[in-house]
Homo-oligomer: A and B are copies of this chain.
Amino acid sequence: MIRKKIILIILDGLGDRAVETLGFKTPLQYAHTPNLDSMSERSSHGLMYPIAPGIRAGSDTAHLSLLGYEPYEVYTGRGPFEAAGLDMDLEPGDIAFRCNFATVDENMKVIDRRAGRIKSGTHELIKELNGIEIEGVKFYIKPGVEHRAALVMRGPNLSPQITDVDPHETGAVVHEAKPLVPEAEKTARVLNKFVKLAHEILDKHPVNIERKNKGLPPANILLPRGAGMVPHLKKFEDMWNMKGACVVGTPLIRGICKLAGIEPIDFPGATGSYDTDMRGKMTKAVEALETHDFVLVNIKAPDLAGHDMKPVKKVEVIKRIDDAIGHLVDILPENTVVMITADHSTPCSVGDHTGDPVPVLLYSTDARRDGVRFDEVSCAKGTLHLCGKDVMPVLLNAANRAEKFGA
């Protein structure tokens, strides 16, 4: 029994619905995909509900589900995964937030939610804020790209059950975090104190004085949102007895992998955007197989086209993915299992995630060849019917890595 290695390719938001302008086909049905078709001839297929039928998964909850975690247990909000994606040191029980550097006027009204997409200076701005302690709760901040940052609260008896400080719109006054349950009162109170204190410090900061002098909007406030508690995730390697790596561009998915103990393989071409280097990602994934048993690849572009409600763009993205799959097949080492699927559907008719099932392709030299094409409709006739939690057991089985239960 040859133990094989595994590449799991997640085409973010790939699933779609009937698009009138494409003759009521989905973009994946419509697209010319010779390389995927060729792989399909040697593969098994099916449909998968990332969490459960009809459930609209986020990219985060879906990736957790596909990697074998129970999202209803471990997921309380996006913050911890964004913070982990920025390589912050996190401890189970920490409360983490996504954050924007923003611009407010003297009445705390938001002038610019992104502080003019501030390009530099955020590392200096946070120096005085990092480590501030209020009522025994310590605050840690790490800047991301442009105006983005993550904020962490560490201390006893904290709760993620609070509302956002970020009002999510320009012209609105900054919100006070409110507790959604009585146990969260302290968390909300301490966070509100921090936001006020940070504003006082930032408003007078030399970086911002210089920005004002230049006519640029000052990054004079931090607007936290998406509170979540850092979960205690069992390590991926302990769960599945495989050393894992990932090639992903988006900090959110990178953060999930980091918290799971899956090693990110960073390279500049992985942008998490339309311009991402898809062929480069495949090359990196194959290289990672030399030192790892399992590589997760995420390609964000189909999701972007779905959110943008642009079916023709989505077809183009799929064609580029097909090209990258052709490259993967060219360089794929023997004894590798490949699954190609999505974390959720992002139909162009909706412009957001939906709970429609996603297609699955499972390639292996001895895969049952079910003669089905890789799209949302044809895959229904394939041999696999899965939910997200089945993905890892099915992959381990295909790779001859699963433990036998019984004799």
A226 partner, pick from B51, B78, B407, beta carbons under 8 A: B407
Q: Using CB atoms, name the residue of chain B closest to A352.
A: B1
Contacts A383-B47, A406-B61, A407-B58; A377 near B371 (Cβ below 8 A):
yes
Contact across chains for A380 and B377 when beta carbons are under 8 A apart: no
For A252, the closest partner residue in chain B by CB is B407
Q: Which residue of B lies closest to A309 (CB)?
A: B1
Binary per-residue interface labels of chain A (3-26) against chain B in the complex, 1 for a CB within 8 Å, 0 otherwise: 000000000000001111000101
In the complex, which residue of chain B has the Cβ closest to the Cβ of A61?
B406
Those of A344-386 within 8 Å (CB) of chain B:
347, 349-357, 365-371, 376-377, 380-386
- With a cutoff of 8 Å between Cβ atoms, the chain B residues found around residue A156 in the complex are none
- A368 touching B381 by the CB < 8 A rule? no
Instruction: Output the least CB separation between A206 and chain B (Å).
Output: 35
Q: Are B405 and A56 in contact (CB under 8 A)?
A: yes
Indicate whether A396 reaches chain B with its CB closer than 8 angstroms: yes
Q: Which of A118-126, A193-201, A387-395 contacts B (4 or more CB under 8 A)?
A: A387-395
Q: Does A54 contact B (CB under 8 A)?
A: yes
Query: Could you tell me if A53 and B386 are in contact, using CB atoms closer than 8 angstroms?
Result: yes
Residue contact B26 to A58, C-beta cutoff 8 Å: no
Chain B contacts for A62, CB-based, 8 A: 406
Could you tell me the distance between the alpha carbons of A404 and B59 in the complex, rounded to whole angstroms?
10
Q: State the interface size on chain A (CB cutoff 8 A).
A: 67
A383 x B380 contact (CB < 8 A): yes
CA–CA, A405 and B1, complex, Å: 40
Given A53-B390, A382-B380, A393-B355, A367-B406 contact (CB < 8 Å): no
CB proximity to B under 8 Å, residues A172-198: none
Answer yes or no: A397 CB below 8 A from chain B CBs. yes
How far, in angstroms, from A369 to B394 measured CA to CA in the complex? 28
Residue on B with the closest CB to A382? B380
Q: Beta-carbon contacts of A276-305 to B below 8 Å, as 1s and 0s? A: 000000000000000000000000000000
Chain B, Cβ-Cβ closest to A364: B17
Does A60 reach chain B (CB closer than 8 Å)? yes
Known pairs A24-B42, A53-B387 / 4 extra A-B pairs, C-beta < 8 Å: A24-B369, A61-B405, A353-B404, A368-B376
Can you list 12 contacts pairing A with B, beta carbon distance less than 8 Å? A17-B367, A53-B386, A53-B387, A54-B392, A54-B396, A57-B405, A58-B404, A78-B407, A252-B407, A347-B366, A355-B397, A385-B385
Residues of A within 8 A of B (CB): 1, 17-20, 24, 26, 42, 47, 51-62, 71, 75, 78, 226, 252, 347, 349-357, 365-371, 376-377, 380-387, 390, 392-397, 400, 402-407
10 shortest interchain CB distances as A-B pairs: A58-B406, A54-B393, A61-B406, A53-B390, A355-B397, A54-B394, A17-B366, A54-B397, A78-B407, A349-B366
